[in-house]
Amino acid sequence: MANHKVTLLPANQTVEVPTGSLVAEAIQRAGLDIAQPCGGQGRCGRCAVFVKGDGARRRSTLRLSAEDIESGFALACQTVIEGDLTVSIPDQERIERRLVTDKTAKSIEVPFPYDQNLQGVRAFRVYLPEPSFQDNKDDLTRLEIALAGAGYPEAEVPLALVRRLGSVVRESDWSPWVVLEAETWNRPHGPARLIDIATDPIEPVALAIDIGTTTVSAYLVDLITGEVLGSSAEYNGQIHCGEDVISRIIYAGRDGGLAELSHRVRETIAELLVRLEKRTGVSPDHIYKATVAGNTTMAHLFLGLPPTSIRLAPFIPTVNMPVPIMAHDIDLGINPLASVDCLPGVASYVGSDITAGVLACGLSETGQLTLFIDVGTNGEIVLGTHDWQVTCACSAGPAFEGAGVVNGMRATEGAIEEVWVNSGTFEPTWRVIGGGKPRGLCGSGLISLLAELFVTGVIDRGGNVKLDLDTPRVRQGDHGPEYVIAWAGETSTGGDITLTKVDVDNLLRAKAAIFAGFSVLATSVGVRLEDVQQVLVGGSFGKYINVEKAIQIGLLPDLPWDRFKFLGNTAILGTYRALLSRDERDRLRHIARGMTYLELSADNSFYDAFTAALFLPHTEIARFPSVASIWEREAGLTPAGGAA
Amino acid sequence: MAVEIPKEKWSGTVREVTLGATREQGGTRTRTLTVGGETAMPHHAFEGSFPHPPALALEVRDRKPTDWSPLLLQAWGAAMDDPAAWAKAAEQAGAELIFLTLSATLADGKANTAANARAVVRKVLEATGLPLAVIGPGQAEIDNELIVAAAEEGKGERLLIGTCEDKNYRTIVAGALANDHVVQSKTPMDVNLSKQLVILIHDMGLPLERIIMDPTTGALGYGIEYGYSVMERLRLAALQGDSMTQQPLIVTPGEEGWKVKEAKVGEGVPAAWGDWNRRALNWEALTANALIYAGADIIVLRHPETLRRLRGVVDALMAA
């Protein structure tokens, strides 16, 4: 048999291997390391290398784009050597960026050319004529004249500011700094309202908040530049009163329940404000505006409105389109005179988090048939184009936000966000946010782990852990059967990190609810999922999702990977846009008014679609052809199911 | 003018499943039982073929049950004291399958054992030449222990063993694979769940010709409509060609019918309810009758008189 010379870069080593050897074998023969977390199955794409020469035959190129293959990339475990070759091994990070399945959300940037006048808050200095015996007008009249001169006649000056007016104008030598709100969406022509007056220059800042059932996120926004100064997220303190909106509504109906829930979410926001102040040095007192999105129940609880009717047929909320209020009305710990704008929602179960999401993802402006999925505790789904949009909501539970899962956590440092399981040994390899020891699993890590356990046969299609496998990683734990992803010695908590059968069931229910939601939605408007031209995925899983794995578990439809875009937390991105610009705020109102809402609880087909989706990837595997082919190869048998 | 009756054409067929193995087939049964094979909705003989009549089975316990209606104790008498005698009596009453249910406990209150399961299976196999089903008490751990033992004891007899449920099926399926048996796949009244469990069992390598579905049904007046409609939908899916729903259906109206107050209680009920024995028998028979119309392939009963009545129904249906 002929031998071929393989030169390995950057080590610049040469090895001779017989025809038919794999590139991976040549690399190992040279004593070099190459990552093969999936066990050399051509499944994970992590062993991508750059080959030069005609001696390479690619058996499989899964996960590499056409351009990558064109430019010389190949999978070391799937490439057969048939001639002399030069192989360069790129570093791991470079590989991961090339994989078409890995979708990372963009970092936050100002979404359009920003100018302070696009929104209503203004900060400037006013010059008041000094009083004298000849000019004995009172301080307030003097200020009003100055504001009128600046273009804001008849500006309202609240009593709280009048109280400080005398000392501030004198200390500032009759040239105080003022912050005013020139307009709000419901008062587009003013009059302006004074929010603050001070002796020193003021840099006005605003707050965008997304109140999720499980996670509350906030951006601190500089109103001069439009930039995000800092962002932070935390679990909603209301979780202790129930995991989903229904249990929160029930809790709110108890004696003192509504007040407690209102208080708890404000406490969570207060905590975010403390963190943001620490990080940016901006005092909450200088936050002069807040724009808030949240599902309808969260908005009701935030405003202290009883949410009872949301739960009762025919599911009518008290308000879908609240008018702005002042921060002191609801005790929000920012400047008490700042206005708080709660964005408009559509219906009881499609709130402003979803209208803001539509605004952020651009669905209302595209001609392409678009499916927008916001994966949260309530999975909201919108299907449509710029001409029409239909929407529905389904209760997914908090699993994808890392809550309600034994070792779940938010997508912050220490969270495992990507996992591969070796199909021969069942040993895992993982990637941790921040690179340190793992503390738990975030939403994308959970999706990834579930997919790997399914594809490698550690769990069956119903999610049962196969305890008869020959590995210590599957065992009977305190919470039933489980898989150990990290041993105590490898974690920063000092305990094992596991995925239990109960966790798997929670994840299955969550993904089934979402899949059932969009399949019913598509059917209701006569659209086939295959015809969807782009799928935009939002959610608070952090910055990353592996779409292939999300398809493998049946969370996302089996479409070509390039049709998916991951946008991160779309609710807060849309809120941020609405905060920055009155035009965006108007557009959002139109979106809220124009969407058609489908009530799934009034639809018989939802439950059926849900139980059909309570399986990996789905009872009808024919709906997931790409998964069927991988699974068949991995499991070594023909997958059953689907129409004959 | 001649009226042409429109006929539905179906692409799918219910799978044929055979229970019991004769000496030539590696077992000791004198008869085997094949069910399934339907090519149209239940008893629409004008639209398709029905190669096998619905099979009537009688339930037999490994020991005399303590919670059965006195009417059943009366009907079976002393035969209930010995599973072999009971099985023989059931055969004489016209059963085509002995449905042996193992109890969770022994007479002394201790957990049932693998040794006891083996002994009972052996006895019953020797007492009758009918095919045999062996079903556990329905508690995962005990089921696995007893059914694996029973499967080994009955190796080659092509028993129907169960109960496979979505959270506990692997051990029993492994027992069926190793000893050449058929499994009963039971799910709680849902088309998708029925289908999923068949897929899971099949994924372990058990051929589809060795799976019978129990869709779970209710008694007359206790949710029978729901069970009926799930069976109907399963059959529609099967005939439309959905492979994983093409398993024959087994139902247990004996157990369900005798659980309800109307059948169980003879005293302290309104006089208008009429004669207890008549009412109880009607309850079991009418429940079973409805399930036959819904497409049941194996009907497990408890009272010999009910079996006699249903034999008439089945004969009439097959003659039509």
DSSP H or E segment with residue A125: strand A121-125
On whether any CB of chain B is under 8 Å from the CB of A462, the answer is yes
Model confidence at A36, pLDDT cuts 50, 70, 90, reads confident
- Average the pLDDT over each of A91-100, A243-252, A348-357, A499-508 and give the range with the smallest value: A91-100
- A643 to chain B: which residues are within 8 Å by CB? 240-243
Task: Indicate if the pLDDT at residue A1 is higher than 70.
Answer: no
Residue A602, pLDDT score: 75
CA distance to partner chain A, nearest, from residue B178 (Å): 16
On whether any CB of chain B is under 8 Å from the CB of A602, the answer is no
Interface A–B counts its CB contacts (< 8 A) at 60
Q: Note whether residue B7 is domain-resident.
A: no
Residue A412, pLDDT score: 86
On whether any CB of chain B is under 8 Å from the CB of A639, the answer is yes
Q: A interface mutation test: which of B15, B172, B192, B236 has the most A CBs within 10 A?
A: B192
- B164 to chain A: which residues are within 8 Å by CB? none
Tens of pLDDT, residues B154-206:
999 999 999 999 989 999 999 999 999 999 999 999 999 999 999 999 999 99
Strand ranges (E), A242-377: 287-294, 325-326, 339-342, 370-375
- A464 to chain B: which residues are within 8 Å by CB? 166-167, 170, 200
Tens of pLDDT, residues B274-308:
999 999 999 999 999 999 999 999 999 999 999 99
Q: Note whether residue B12 is domain-resident.
A: no
Is there a contact between A572 and A217 (Cβ–Cβ < 8 Å)?
yes
Write the DSSP string, B173-237. HHHHHHHT-EEEEE-SS-HHHHHHHHHHHHHTT--GGGEEEE-----TTTTHHHHHHHHHHHHHH
Q: Among A461, A464, A643, select the one facing B199 at the smallest CB separation.
A: A461
Residue A101, pLDDT score: 65
3-state secondary structure of A133: coil
Which residues lie below 8 Å from residue A173, measured CB to CB, with a gap of 6+? none
Verify whether the Cβ–Cβ distance B244 to A468 is below 8 Å.
Answer: no
- CATH number of domain containing B237: 3.20.20.20
On whether any CB of chain B is under 8 Å from the CB of A505, the answer is no
Residue A50, pLDDT score: 86
DSSP H or E segment with residue B309: helix B304-319
Task: Indicate if the pLDDT at residue A72 is higher than 90.
Answer: no
On whether any CB of chain B is under 8 Å from the CB of A83, the answer is no
Model confidence at A549, pLDDT cuts 50, 70, 90, reads very high
Verify whether the Cβ–Cβ distance A642 to B243 is below 8 Å.
Answer: yes
When divided into structural domains, chain B yields a total of 1
Verify whether the Cβ–Cβ distance A461 to B12 is below 8 Å.
Answer: no
Residue B73, pLDDT score: 95
Q: A interface mutation test: which of B171, B196, B204 has the most A CBs within 10 A?
A: B196
Q: Note whether residue B122 is domain-resident.
A: yes
Q: Among A468, A637, A642, select the one facing B170 at the smallest CB separation.
A: A468
Tens of pLDDT, residues B203-232:
999 999 999 999 999 999 999 999 999 999
Phi, psi for B161 (deg, rounded to 5): -120, 155
3-state secondary structure of A500: strand
Verify whether the Cβ–Cβ distance B193 to A611 is below 8 Å.
Answer: yes
Q: Note whether residue B276 is domain-resident.
A: yes
Task: Indicate if the pLDDT at residue A97 is higher than 60.
Answer: no
Q: Note whether residue B303 is domain-resident.
A: yes
Q: Among A460, A619, A644, select the one facing B195 at the smallest CB separation.
A: A619
With an 8 Å Cβ cutoff, the interface of chain B facing chain A consists of 12, 166-167, 170, 190-193, 195-200, 202-203, 205, 208, 240-244
CA distance to partner chain A, nearest, from residue B235 (Å): 14
Could you tell me the domains of chain A?
3-100 (3.10.20.30), 116-198 (3.10.20.880), 205-342 (3.30.420.480)
Task: Indicate if the pLDDT at residue A477 is higher than 80.
Answer: yes
Residue A98, pLDDT score: 57
Span A324-343, mean pLDDT? 95
On whether any CB of chain B is under 8 Å from the CB of A641, the answer is yes
Which chain B residue shows the shortest CA-CA distance from A464?
A: B167
Q: Note whether residue B92 is domain-resident.
A: yes
On whether any CB of chain B is under 8 Å from the CB of A608, the answer is yes
Which chain B residue shows the shortest CA-CA distance from A481?
A: B167
Q: Note whether residue B6 is domain-resident.
A: no
CA distance to partner chain B, nearest, from residue A517 (Å): 17
Which residues lie below 8 Å from residue A379, measured CB to CB, with a gap of 6+? A373, A393, A394, A395, A396, A510, A513, A514, A517
Average pLDDT of every residue of chain A:
90
ipTM for the predicted complex comes to: 0.86
Q: Among A614, A619, A643, select the one facing B241 at the smallest CB separation.
A: A643
CA distance to partner chain B, nearest, from residue A458 (Å): 13
The β-bridge partners of A222 are A205
Verify whether the Cβ–Cβ distance A614 to B241 is below 8 Å.
Answer: no
Q: Note whether residue B5 is domain-resident.
A: no
Tens of pLDDT, residues A193-216:
999 999 999 999 999 999 999 899
Range of the domain at B231: 17-315
Quick one: which of A391, A308, A408 has its CA closest to A350?
A391
The β-bridge partners of B294 are none
Q: Among A460, A611, A643, select the one facing B242 at the smallest CB separation.
A: A643
Quick one: which of A298, A295, A273, A302 has its CA closest to A285?
A273
CA distance to partner chain A, nearest, from residue B161 (Å): 21
